[in-house]
Structure 1
Amino acid sequence: MRPRLAQLRLTEFKSFRSSSVMQLGDMTVLIGRNSSGKSNALDGLEVLSRLATGADLVEALDSRRGDEGPLRGGIEGCPPHGTDRFRLGCTVVSPERALNGYALIDLDVTVQVRPEPEIISETLSGVSGKPRNTKDPSSKIWHKLLTTRDPEPGSGSIDATWYRGTRGRGRVAPFRATRLLTTQLPLRLAQDTETERHVVQAAKDLIQALQGAFHLDPVPHLMRQYVPGRDVRLRRTGENLSAVIGQMEERDPEQFAQLVELVRDLVEHEVTGIEVIRSELNDVMLALREGRAVTPAREMSDGLLRFMAIATTLITRGRHVDLSGMPDHERPVTVVIEELENGLHPSQAGKALELVRRAVKDDGAQVLFTTHSPALLSGLSAEDHRSVIVCSRDPETQESTLTPLPELDGYPRLMAQGDLGSVVTAGLLNEERRSDFSEFDRLMGLR
């Protein structure tokens, strides 16, 4: 099993100030009212994913080059208001290292954005797969794999040491302060000992898991043109969806048939198939076969195109998305989708949720999505509620927090009234006799 993200820590980032933590399972659902901080939380994961590429801080977060464009708000928008730095962290699980290496890896990094962007603190830690030599052989040891020293402001470098086992800590060495130190570690260690090889492998596992975060944000108007048939790695905007589906039709007829069936269920009129129109230069465009008529992508609705991009990603479990050249065999994909139900009729929300369930089944992709749909919330089982995170923002301090749904006050009595979507839609939370749920009402945006 490949390395997987297990936790995101928004220690000090944008509207988060109190070390908010988001546990990441196979499926994670982030809910909350508008402007509660949901997008900020997803931006935190995006920042770590971009820094894991090894790019300079400014290049990673401000550059307009590449498919993703600049981070929302850029690097200057990352610190909480009134501060000049931000801090993020994450935990990665690597089951393959359970007996030899580091099966649990933590990263925490602090970035100062003014006067010049630079990393001022970074710690990489790991839980050793080897048991302690004590009466409890099952206990594990945390090792500080990489630790920084206090930097000299403006120097562009920062000193750090790394773990060397019985030899103690490694010598103090300078690292570039404008790039994530963990990405520099594999090139700095000689790896002539087993300990150093394990440290490097831990760094690689963490980098791999972070680089696997794919933020899918389909832009329908970009999907309506011909694209090169060889452009078969789905970009986050979905603009090359026609080429991706064309390859699916050729190489995986079973998955292609699933997509056709989903589209048939989605639209009211009869759809007999999906076609890929090819030009003489092997440029391609999607089309729907509707009896004798053919509807090209340029005439399809925004909602249908967006759904097809999401469905294609989830059907293939993210194996055909563009992850900056990461090889197929190194693809622990975490698909991130804002407003999963956007463009769908409420009656279709259940199909979107079922797509997610299939994608995460049998060691597939991880999926993290936000939603405002009561219909989709109604489709969540009681077991799913453990994967639901409620994002809320204090009206006085403007600080965002993340709370697992089952930990909200009044949750057991609330759920006795029906499924989550029905309770929200019916306004049961507003009944005076259920005043115990006032805090839940506020968090869900009902007050």
Structure 2
Amino acid sequence: MAVSLASTASAQAASAPPAPSPQDRPRVTRLRLSAFARHRRTEIPLAPLTLLAGPSGCGKTSALRAYEALARLGGGARLDAVFPDPAACVPERARPDAQRRRGFRIGCTVDGPGGPVRLDVAVQAEPELRIVGERLSANGVVLLETALRDPGRRTVQAAWHTAGPAQVTRAPLPDDRLGTALLPLRVAGTTDGQRRVLAAAEQTVVALRSVFSCDPLPDRMRAPAPTGPGRLLGGCDNLADVLGRTRSECGRRHAQFVAAVREGCADPVEDVLAEPGAGGVTRALLDRGDGVRTGLARLGDGELRYLALALVLFTGPGVLEVDPAGEVPAALQTLTVLADGLDRGLDARQRAGLLALAARMCDRGHIRLVASVADASRAAGAEGVTVVHLEP
């Protein structure tokens, strides 16, 4: 599959740049789909704000699915939870080998303080789901490599760089977990080589874990939301509950959010309210400024998706339902939002407003956005937006 890239300069920062620099934060800068779904030898460069464009069926959704899968594996999830239908990830024309095995291969490059680190994973989908090979490397040095030696055992043989009296340490690892995510529990860090392995693994895991996959579902957003912890779900079902939290926690950010909502709604908006109701639920309302309050049930699908996506861009890991690396300070992490169909249901004004907001927020360095769009014609050349065209 061919990939072409169109990139423009970053948007002007809306405030003073945060410290430390965004370049110090681990971040995924390339996604590799060596053999995944309809992709073969596809490599996708990722900027702070990346839009995946192309005709229907070119693999935009599957690329986001592969990124999300790597993120979940980096967080320690089991393979069967990440790939409930692994056969759907195998390239359609992939033929089984002599042992009737078929699978897929995905990977990424993570940039950060330790320089670029490359992770590649080979997964066997049939006849049994298992990781059959994994490689973590940096600057041409293989830091971790695993291979399936005995198909009868549910382990892979792992070897990681030591650079001590023994150049390599070998040990079995489970075949249903990402070995890179397990290294901090297995490597002592007593030699320079071990410390190098740990640094690369931790940089990769930190970048992968801070991912929020988002696809607002308007039908679920219209109903009152049960009052809970105020952490936004991927479908934005509990948007009303989250609005109650964000409105009370930071008045300045809420005012900016209201201003963004005002730009995306047809009628006037003076405020966005969260009203507790009977039975432990919260209802979201738009204050029109003339005594009229409009419930979300009356809004169109485009207005609801715009409102939800704007809220996601204004919040962070503490509000979104993600599991970032708790042992790493928030200032050293960057949240990545994955949004399939970013422009779905939006009119031209809403698309332009949302892209401008996304470019402004991504330029600050605390958030990155990777999204698929049906039409990138208006985004091409927009300040702060990088468009990657996928072709069948």
Query: TM-score higher than 0.5 here?
Result: yes
Give, as a single letter, the amino acid of the residue that structure 1 aligns with 2:25. Answer: R
1:26 to 34, 48, 57: 48
Contact 1:7-1:21 at 8 Å conserved across structures: yes
Aligned to 1:338: 340
The yes-or-no answer on 1:263 pairing with 2:286 is no
Which of 92, 101, 117 matches 1:81? 92
**In 2 relative to 1, CA 176–374 (structure 1 residues): closer, same or farther, beyond 3 Å?**
closer
Q: Are 2:106 and 1:57 aligned?
A: no
The alpha carbon displacement at 1:325 in A equals 6.2
Q: Which residue of 1 aligns with 2:5?
A: none
Q: Which has the higher strand share?
A: 2
Normalized per residue, the structure richer in helix is 1
Matched residues in 2 for 1:77 and 1:380: separation?
A: 35
Please give the per-residue CA displacement for 1:16-41, whole angstroms capped at 9, x wherever unaligned. 12x21101111111110111111111
The reply to whether residue 162 of structure 1 matches residue 160 of structure 2 is yes
Could you say which residue in structure 2 is the equivalent of 1:431? none
Kept in 2: contact 1:336–1:368 (CA 8 A): yes
State yes or no: 1:250 paired with 2:248.
yes
Shift of 1:268: 2.5
- Superposed CA deviations along residues 59-111 of structure 1, whole A, max 9, x for unmatched, are 2221xxxxxxxxxxx2111111143110111110112xxxxxx3221101101
Q: Secondary structure at the match of 2:115?
A: strand
Report how many residues are paired: 358
8 Å CA contact retained: 1:286, 1:296: yes
**Residues 311-320 or 114-123, more deviating:** 311-320
Q: 1:380 to 1:159 in 2, by over 3 A?
A: same
Once the two structures are overlaid, the 10-residue window that deviates more, 109-118 or 145-154, is: 145-154
Give the partner amino acid of 1:258. Answer: Q
Alpha-carbon distance in 1 for matches of 2:367, 2:33: 23
Q: Deviations over 1:248-307 (max 9, x none)?
A: 211111111112112222223222221111125653121011221211223322221211
If the length of structure 2 is used for normalisation, what is the TM-score?
0.85
Are the equivalent residues in 1 in contact too, given 2:302–2:344 (CA < 8 A)? Answer: yes
**Alignment map for 1:84-95 (pairs within 5 Å):** 84-95=102-113
Deviation, structure 1 residue 314: 0.9
| 2-structure distance, mates of 1:150, 1:116 | 12
Paired letter, 1:347 = R
**Equivalence map 1:134-213=2 (5 Å):** 142-213=140-211
Runs of 4+ in 1 over 6 A off after TM superposition: none
TM alignment of 1:263-342, pairs within 5 A: 263-279=261-277, 283-290=281-288, 291-316=290-315, 320-324=319-323, 326-327=325-326, 329=330, 331-342=333-344
The answer (yes or no) to whether the contact 1:231–1:240 under 8 Å persists in 2 is no
Report the secondary structure of 1:183's partner residue: helix
Contact 1:229 1:246 in 2 (8 A): no
Moved more, 177-186 or 228-237: 228-237
- Distance verdict in 2 for CA 1:148–1:225, change over 3 Å: same
Unaligned runs of 5+ in 1: 63-73, 96-101, 128-141, 394-447
> How far apart are the structure 2 equivalents of 1:166 and 1:8?
33
2:369 maps to 367
Match of 1:411 in 2: none
- Aligned residue for 1:69? none
Task: Give, in whole Å, the separation in 1 of the partners of 2:278 and 2:325.
Answer: 31
Percent identical pairs in the alignment equals 30
What is the CA-CA distance between 1:243 and the residue it aligns to? 2.0
| Cα distance in 1 for residues equivalent to 2:39 and 2:122 | 14
Report the alpha carbon displacement of residue 168 of structure 1 after superposing the two structures with TM.
Answer: 4.4
Q: Which has the higher Rg, Structure 1 or Structure 2?
A: 1
Change in CA separation of 1:318 and 1:171 when aligned onto 2, cut-off 3 Å: closer
Q: CA RMSD in A?
A: 2.1
| Structure 2: distance between partners of 1:242 and 1:274 | 10
How do 1:6-25 residues align onto structure 2 when only pairs under 5 Å count? 6-17=29-40, 19-25=41-47
